[in-house]
Amino acid sequence: MRAMRQAAWGESEPLELVEVEAPRPAFGEVLVRVRAAGVNPVDVYTRRGQAYNTALELPFVNGWDVAGVVEEIGYGTTRFQVGDTVFGMPWFPRAAGAYAEYVTAPARHFAHMPEGLGFTEAAALPLAGLTAWQMLTEVAGVGPAQRVLVSGAAGGVGHLAVQIAKAYGAYVIGTASAAKHPFVRELGADEVIDYTRVDVPATLRDVDIVIQMFGGEAALRALECLRPGGVLACGQGAWTPGLHERARELGVHAVTYLVDPDGAGLEALATLVGERRLKVHVNAVYPLEQADKAHDLVATGRTTGKVVLAVA
């Protein structure tokens, strides 16, 4: 099969199109022919050697988001049949090898694709969607009338978090540059703040939940927006020294969070898509062999929604 492989860590190291042996499903696994693969910031960090590399070995095939067709079923698997269209985020943070024509993983790392959703959109949904879903529902316990602040509300995780929070009846405040305000409002945000012009923590208070995808000083200051007892779910808490100590000082909660493969969560996302309460926005699509260009775009940090590789 074709795969995009890197032989060394580093952003300047090229991803090379190679021919490698296709995997076979073990007991409880499925073999999926990948039609499209999502590209996420963690893919870029991993390529640089900045994230989760204790779980990875070179040479390495990047990527975790996949959508495709089940081609073979391992012994004992009853969740899917050959020919089913599926999407998922297998193995994260261990290697999944999504930038390739085939992947294998436990069946419960996948879910049936929502009806009416194409492979491109389905591949854009798993990692960002599960991150937003798990942060909001499992970490923070989002509910009706709660005030939710979503940082980077036009980004991959952010644009999905806005919609999921609204689906749960929350009052949603998003941060984004001025040019992206119409997009964020279309997602359902009740307020949008231009973080380039407004000191958000200095002006916004009494928020119940903060979904924070940026670490460092931005995460520390986001704690100031919370009401006493409020919750900040941080996707980069490991890169934010003093986060939990500062939270205790302010009487709030900070949770360092890493997304898990979750078939039930994927099914919940599929339900929201089917109910037309969740829509994934694809910013750009590149062919598999142009994964380098996809990484360059994601690395700018200025995409609206998601970037996807067309594999098949």
* 204 and 220 both lie in a single domain: yes
Q: Could you tell me the CA-to-CA distances from 281 to 97, 157, 187, 215, 285 in Å, in that order?
A: 23, 11, 10, 24, 11
Q: What is the DSSP letter of 267?
A: H
* 100 and 173 both lie in a single domain: no
Measure CA 68 to chain center: 18
Q: State the total domains in the chain.
A: 2
Does 143 have pLDDT greater than 80?
yes
Q: For 180-192, what is the mean pLDDT?
A: 98
Q: What is the pLDDT of residues 73-104, one digit of tens each?
A: 999 999 999 999 999 999 999 999 999 999 99
* 132 and 120 both lie in a single domain: no
Query: Would you say residue 116 lies in a domain?
Result: yes
Query: Would you say residue 275 lies in a domain?
Result: no
* 88 and 199 both lie in a single domain: no
- 75: β partners: none
* 109 and 9 both lie in a single domain: yes
Least Cα distance to 12 among 310, 307, 295, 306 occurs for 295
Give the CATH number, domain containing residue 88: 3.90.180.10
Query: Would you say residue 97 lies in a domain?
Result: yes
User: Burial letters for 37-52: b for 16+ Cβ neighbours within 10 Å, e otherwise?
Assistant: bbbbbbbbbbbbeebb
Residue 50 is predicted with a pLDDT of 79
Residue 10 is predicted with a pLDDT of 87
Q: What is the pLDDT of residues 28-71, one digit of tens each?
A: 999 999 999 999 999 999 998 876 556 788 899 999 999 999 99
Q: For 183-199, what is the mean pLDDT?
A: 96
Q: What is the pLDDT of residues 2-20, one digit of tens each?
A: 999 999 988 878 899 999 9
Least Cα distance to 270 among 114, 163, 142, 165 occurs for 114
H-helix or E-strand spanning residue 43: helix 41-48
Reported residue count of the chain is: 312
Q: What is the pLDDT of residues 194-223, one digit of tens each?
A: 999 999 999 999 999 999 988 889 999 999
Does 128 have pLDDT greater than 60?
yes
Side-by-side strand order, sheet with 16-19: 16-19, 2-6, 60-61
Residue 132 is predicted with a pLDDT of 98
Does 146 have pLDDT greater than 90?
yes
Residue 312 is predicted with a pLDDT of 81
Q: What is the pLDDT of residues 249-295, one digit of tens each?
A: 999 999 999 999 999 999 999 999 999 999 999 999 999 999 999 99
What pTM does this model have?
A: 0.95
97: helix, coil or strand?
A: coil
Distance CA 151, CA 204 (A): 13
* 33 and 53 both lie in a single domain: yes
Residue 51 is predicted with a pLDDT of 66
* 97 and 108 both lie in a single domain: yes
Q: Which domain holds residue 21?
A: 2-125+281-310
* 26 and 73 both lie in a single domain: yes
Distance CA 238, CA 30 (A): 33
Cis peptide before 106, with omega less than 30 degrees from 0?
no
* 182 and 227 both lie in a single domain: yes
User: Burial letters for 141-178: b for 16+ Cβ neighbours within 10 Å, e otherwise?
Assistant: ebeeebbbbbbbbbbbbbbbbbbbbbbbebbbbbbbee
* 106 and 149 both lie in a single domain: no
